[in-house]
């Protein structure tokens, strides 16, 4: 049997294009499920912090954040937010920038590594992104993260211990070092089978196409060997 295609995704919980890219990837892969020879795919998420200097409790809204951290004017921010909200809606996501609570995401990334160890990284990633972009939940404080961990099926006290101990910080930093080695300067960034790099929140059709292409290449290589 042909080994599964490995897709490694570098993303940040607080990146609006990352959630869109994640959903488009899922939609694209789902479209290949009925193929006669459907590609088998394993997706792994990796840590990337877009704004590591963001405080856990940022005092302000999305417009304030982008104005302070990106040097944009409020007049520039609104059409940009309207655009990303529209693209998110096309992907089936209802972004609520009016509710969003900016925070530092390093603890959320630590939680994702804990969840990966428990076999629940997919569920935890979805829960964090949904909480942040559509529900206005706080994803930077340990108490809040523990509740979200429980929502995703993780043991509450084990999650708290993982976060309070900081023992997954090294794994977060290793992901970031790998991103630097790959030359990744923005997310989402998708690495397919360690040899193809795809940058940005591509349409679902693009992900379906590349999965079929790589799977076909695998089959041809297998037949030739």
- What pLDDT, in 10s, does the model give residues 174-220? 999 999 999 999 999 999 999 899 999 999 999 999 999 999 998 88
pLDDT tens string 125-181: 999 999 999 999 999 999 999 999 999 999 999 999 999 999 999 999 999 999 999
Superfamily of domain 5-224: Glutaredoxin (3.40.30.10)
Asked if the peptide bond before residue 188 counts as cis, ω within 30 degrees of 0, the response is yes
pLDDT tens string 35-71: 999 999 999 999 999 999 999 999 999 999 988 887 8
pLDDT tens string 62-120: 999 988 887 889 899 999 999 999 999 999 999 999 999 999 999 999 999 999 999 99
pLDDT at 70 (0 to 100): 79
Predicted confidence (pLDDT) at residue 1 exceeds the cutoff of 80: no
pTM of the model: 0.96
For residues 172 and 106, is the Cβ–Cβ distance under 8 A? yes
User: E strands within 126-207?
Assistant: 189-192, 196-199
CA-to-CA dists, residue 181 to 46, 156, 185, 198, angstroms: 14, 35, 10, 16
CB neighbour list of residue 223: distance below 8 Å, 6 or more residues apart = none
Q: In what order do the strands lie in the sheet with 189-192?
A: 41-47, 5-11, 189-192, 196-199
């Amino acid at each position: 049997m042909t080994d599964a295609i490995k897709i490694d995704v570098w993303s940040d919980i607080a990146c609006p294009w990352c959630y869109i890219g994640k959903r488009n990837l899922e939609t694209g892969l789902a479209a290949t499920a009925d193929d006669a020879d459907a590609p088998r795919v394993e997706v792994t998420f990796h840590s990337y912090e877009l704004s590591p200097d963001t405080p856990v409790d940022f005092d302000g809204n999305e417009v304030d954040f982008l104005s302070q951290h990106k040097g944009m004017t409020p007049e520039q921010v609104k059409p940009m937010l309207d655009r990303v909200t529209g693209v998110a809606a096309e992907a089936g996501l209802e972004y609520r920038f009016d509710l969003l609570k900016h925070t530092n995401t390093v603890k959320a990334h630590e939680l994702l590594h804990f969840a990966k160890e428990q076999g629940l990284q997919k569920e935890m990633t979805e829960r964090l992104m949904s909480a942040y972009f559509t529900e206005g939940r706080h994803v930077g404080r340990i108490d809040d993260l523990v509740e979200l961990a429980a929502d995703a099926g993780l043991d509450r006290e084990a999650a708290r211990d993982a976060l309070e101990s900081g023992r997954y910080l090294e794994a977060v930093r290793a992901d970031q070092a790998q991103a630097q080695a790959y030359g990744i300067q923005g997310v989402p960034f998708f690495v397919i089978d360690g040899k193809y790099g795809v940058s940005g929140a591509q349409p679902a059709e693009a992900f379906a196409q590349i999965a079929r292409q790589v799977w076909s290449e695998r089959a041809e290589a297998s037949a030739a060997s």
